[in-house]
Amino acid sequence: MTEFMNINIKLTDPDEAYIIKNMYPLYLHDLSGHYGLIPGHIPNLHGIFEESNEYRTLTDQYDVQKIWWEKSNCLYPFLIRVDDIPAGFALIATPPHCAKGTDYFVNDFFLMQPFRGKGVAENSAIQVFDTFKGNWELHTNPSERNTIGQKFWRKTVSNYTSGNYDEESGMTFDGYKLVFRFNNSNE
């Protein structure tokens, strides 16, 4: 159970995009701890978590993220708020931005440190899942460095689906990942 009163997710519009963009470097910093010293998960020559050195500032990185607010019919940027405080985000993609047979893909999911371990992430994920019905897929890093993330998704998806989900490790469009799949059409 959470100590917070109100946890909600909201689909953001371009006027609120800056809130998610402000949190995005923190998310990439968190991911770097799960992947180690590989390109894209270490800062480039300018201190930005991007593979390419063409990104010199966070503004450059923000410009790349505009797609989430330009394709409102297939990309869904959700802001997670706790007691009206921005706490994280969930970026949900639909075709053509996900694997064949997948209706909804958890592209990115992030919760800031002060809100972790209190039930906020699971509550938020469930709210996101309940927003859309169909075939879902999400990936996480399968390495030992990410056991907390693996446990979180295994517990959250298992609780949400009453254990009716598939889990496998394998190659994806984003490298070798631990993949979770489920269908919530009958939920």
pLDDT digits (tens, 9 = 90+) for 88-117: 999 999 999 999 999 999 999 999 999 999
Residue among 127, 187, 135, 131 at smallest CA distance from 156? 127
Strand spans (E) along the chain: 7-11, 75-82, 85-93, 104-111, 135-140, 166-172, 175-183
For the cut 60, the answer to whether the pLDDT of residue 155 exceeds it is yes
In the predicted model, what is the mean pLDDT of residues 176-187? 92
The whole-chain average pLDDT of the chain stands at 87
Which pLDDT value is given to residue 74?
95
Q: Distance between CA 150 and CA 153 in Å, rounded?
A: 5
Q: Among residues of the chain, what percentage have pLDDT more than 70?
A: 83
Residue 109's CB is within 10 A of a number of other CB atoms, namely 23
Which pLDDT value is given to residue 1?
45
Which pLDDT value is given to residue 126?
97
Q: Give the HSE-up count for residue 168: Cα atoms under 13 Å, Cβ half-sphere.
A: 7
Element (H, E) at 131: helix 120-131
Q: Distance between CA 176 and CA 186 in Å, rounded?
A: 30
Which pLDDT value is given to residue 36?
57
Which pLDDT value is given to residue 82?
96
Token pair listed for 66? 């505009």
Q: Are 47 and 54 contacting, i.e. CB atoms less than 8 angstroms apart? A: no
Which pLDDT value is given to residue 34?
63
Map out the domains of the chain as residue ranges: 7-183
For the cut 70, the answer to whether the pLDDT of residue 145 exceeds it is yes
Q: Are 139 and 156 contacting, i.e. CB atoms less than 8 angstroms apart? A: no
Which pLDDT value is given to residue 173?
86
pLDDT tens for 55-92 read 776 776 767 788 899 998 999 999 999 999 999 999 99
Sheet of 175-183, strand order: 7-11, 75-82, 85-93, 104-111, 135-140, 175-183, 166-172
Token pair listed for 28? 């990439």
The pLDDT confidence band at residue 187, using thresholds 50, 70 and 90, is low
CATH entry 3.40.630.30 includes domain 7-183: yes
Q: Are 55 and 61 contacting, i.e. CB atoms less than 8 angstroms apart? A: yes
